[in-house]
Structures are given as structure tokens and as C-alpha cells.
Structure 1
């Protein structure tokens, strides 16, 4: 499972940077945001959807435990230098793992794998979009790519092309928990349908597409593979 968005709440700047460096090497994670106070973290969680939260415990004004008890949080991995919090954390349903500092890449990877088992049942299998005057269901796995067409989008599957009444930016927001990823200003591609790629292009079967300049590093990061020159 790929393309998970992550929020890190940790007031220790040095440790947060160290944590992000490791998390950026884990294939399943595509977007990592850091906040350095629980207040900033609460605001971020209320405004933006995140698939996974990495949470420090010992922070000023609001502790990690208080944050866990005050909000409905995404699956949470606690990362702390204070093992005394462990028992209380595991009594909270949203906590999927507890890691003592200092962290290691292997331990973080195992924690992410545990978290994805919690997240996977919640992943959408189908997408409803307005087509003409009705809402039509699309099986997400059947979509090869989505193409912007003015204020509309063309949904490409192996069997047909359908014009949906939605623009590409709005449809991108609906796909944050799927393998459909925007890699060009006018295209969203199904990662599971990509057969090959290089620095400037990707292929779905034998059809070639351009990678947007601002997206070129994103694909190799998501797929955890260096592109061909």
C-alpha cells in the first residue's frame, strides 16, 4: 500500500529531522508534514486529512497523551524517550505502535507495516463521480489514468473513456488514500498500472506519458526506485 500522508508532531527539532530522514526512505509514505508543537498539530489535524500520525509524548503545555484523548486521531505511532507512557498509550484504540527513541529505520518500517494493516480496511475500493445527470461508480483498480479536460475529467479504463463533471484538482482530493497519484498538471496515474518510467516519462502498457517537471522526483520516491537516465 503506497501514497500514505503522514503528520509528525515533535517539539524536538533535531529528532524530528532525524525521523523524517528515515520516513522518507519508506516506500509507503509519500507526503510527510512536521509540526513542532501540539497546538500546531491539532490545527493541522482539524484542517487536513492524514493517514498516519507520529506523536511525541513529552511536550510543553499539551502532552501526547492529552492530545490522544482530546481528538479523534488517525492511526498513531508513538515515538518517545519515555517508556513509562507505554501502558497508558496501548489503552487508546488509535495507538498502533509504541517506539522508544532513538529510532531505527528497521523499527520504523515495522511500525508502518503494522499501521497499514489498520488502514487497509478503510481504503476506498470505488469512486462515485457525476457523469451527466447521475452519479456513476468507478472501480478504482480499473482506472488506468485520469485526464484533465477543462473543468471536466476523462476517466480512462481499459474498456472505455468517460467524461466526469469534476475538475482534476477536486478529483485529486478524493484520491488521497488510493494508488491514483497526480504526476502531471493534467494527469493522474494509477501506480499499479505503470509498466516503466524514466526521468521524463512513464508508460502504461505501451502508451507513453510525460512527467510534470515538479513531479519528476515524486514518482521515484513513491516507487522507491531510481529512474533510468
Structure 2
């Protein structure tokens, strides 16, 4: 559990996956009108935290060991506003029966996250949007992410990435002098990085826009490496590079 200073509206993240917590923390940093007051890796720690701390919005995973997120809400007399975050569609009905504000399926895109926050905080829409969340990434100093590699949380500097390749349940992150291998899906990593700096060009590849040396409608060239562009991704890719 990580305590933070209390400033309204107060937010708590509860998820047993470190990468999922990283994504939500990153998104919250883009919205300075919100305050992250804590993080818990399981529902039991969250229950203890909620007994001693006031929380306005709870970002809650459902499928966790020992105690489900839905069971946590049922055990609290006056729960905060709940936004469920999960990879499992089958829990949606249970979530809404507990009067959840919203139900976000992983990987969570920032636009969808922002929509859920707007629903949780009616009247805050103008304050949230006036901060231009995407531009805030530069101000917040987020220039790296941490990924679990060889049983360690390894810092990956975003500006050093040449491209990202998916290999079944693993991803390979190529930099100038190294390749990192991580057990993770490419879609979940895509949700963690700035979509204004990186673009998905294929179901198996993500590239940083500023590293592209040349491109056609079929491939991009980065550091003398040619990577294919999938037909489903071509229009979005062209829109990104031309803008």
C-alpha cells in the first residue's frame, strides 16, 4: 500500500497486477484535478485502507486472489464511487448490480478512462478537459515505464525505444543496444504509452513516430530495419505521420 496526500477528489487504485496499476497511475497524473491517495495490490489491503481513509473514486479490479473486487464492495457499508477495471466481460452484470459508475475492460484507453471519470464526477467536466490531459504528459515528466523482466521491474526509457514486437504472449522491446523480453500482450503495453508518440502499424508492431526514417504503404524503415504495415492499421498510421 502506498499512501499519498489527501486532496479532493481522492482516488484509490486496487489491482493485483503492477502493470495495470501503472496504467491507471499514469492516467491519473494527466488529470491534476484528481489526487491519488493510495494503491493496493489486493482487496484485503483495500478494505483496511478504506476503513481509515476517505476515498471519492475507487478504481477496482474484480478478479483478484482471496477476495474479489465485487465481494469487497459488498463488505463495505458506504463504499465510494466505483469504477471497475477488469479483463473479463462476464463480470459486467455483477458490477452494474452493485451500482458501479462504469466498467472498463482492459486494456483501457485514456479516452475511455476519461469518460468514466466524467461520469463519476458530474460538474468536473470542464475542469478535467481544460487541463488538456494529453499535453500534461510532458509537464508530468513521464519519460519511462517499468516492465517485469527476469523477475525484476526494469525501467524502459521511452525515447530509447526503436520498436516493439509481439511474439504470442511476449513482447520484445528493441533499443539501440539491447532487446528486452517481457511476458505481456502488445495491447496492454500500447495502453501504457503515449499514442501521440507511438503508433501501432501491425498487430505485431508498435513504432515511435520520431524514429521512422522512411515509409511506404507497405512498410516503415527504422534503424535500417523494415517493418510491415498491416492493412487494418494503414489509415491510422498515415493520419498520424501526416499530422
Mark the CA change 1:180 to 1:71 in structure 2 (over 3 Å): closer, same or farther: farther
Query: Whole-Å Cα distance in 2 between the matches of residues 49 and 115 of structure 1?
Result: 9
Query: Whole-Å Cα distance in 1 between the matches of residues 159 and 112 of structure 2?
Result: 20
Equivalence for 2:156: 138
Q: Is the 8 A contact 1:180 1:190 kept in 2?
A: yes
Query: Whole-Å Cα distance in 1 between the matches of residues 144 and 122 of structure 2?
Result: 32
Counterparts in 2 of 1:43-82, with a 5 A limit?
49-50=110-111, 70=122, 73=125
Q: Is the 8 A contact 2:166 2:205 kept in 1?
A: yes
Taking only aligned residues, the RMSD between alpha carbons, in angstroms, comes to 3.4
Q: How many residue pairs get matched?
A: 139
| SS in structure 2 of the partner of residue 170 of structure 1 | helix
Shift of 1:222: 0.7
Query: Whole-Å Cα distance in 1 between the matches of residues 199 and 232 of structure 2?
Result: 13
Shift of 1:96: 2.7
Query: Whole-Å Cα distance in 1 between the matches of residues 104 and 184 of structure 2?
Result: 26
Q: Is the 8 A contact 2:144 2:158 kept in 1?
A: yes
Equivalence for 2:216: 198
Shift of 1:48: 5.1
Mark the CA change 1:197 to 1:52 in structure 2 (over 3 Å): closer, same or farther: farther
Equivalence for 2:30: none
Equivalence for 1:152: 170
RCO (CA 8 Å, sep 6+): is it higher in 1 or 2? 1
Query: Whole-Å Cα distance in 2 between the matches of residues 139 and 122 of structure 1?
Result: 15
Shift of 1:178: 5.4
Counterparts in 2 of 1:78-93, with a 5 A limit?
93=127
1:96 and 2:148 correspond: no
Q: Is the 8 A contact 1:124 1:178 kept in 2?
A: no
Structure 1 gaps of 5+ residues are 1-41, 55-65, 77-92, 98-113
Q: Is the 8 A contact 1:147 1:168 kept in 2?
A: yes
Deviations 1:186-213 (A, max 9, x none): 1111111011111111111322111011
TM-score (normalised: structure 1): 0.50
1:184 and 2:202 correspond: yes
Q: Is the 8 A contact 1:175 1:181 kept in 2?
A: no
Query: Whole-Å Cα distance in 2 between the matches of residues 119 and 133 of structure 1?
Result: 28
Shift of 1:50: 2.0
Structure 2 gaps of 5+ residues are 1-100
Query: Whole-Å Cα distance in 1 between the matches of residues 228 and 174 of structure 2?
Result: 16
Query: Whole-Å Cα distance in 1 between the matches of residues 142 and 196 of structure 2?
Result: 7
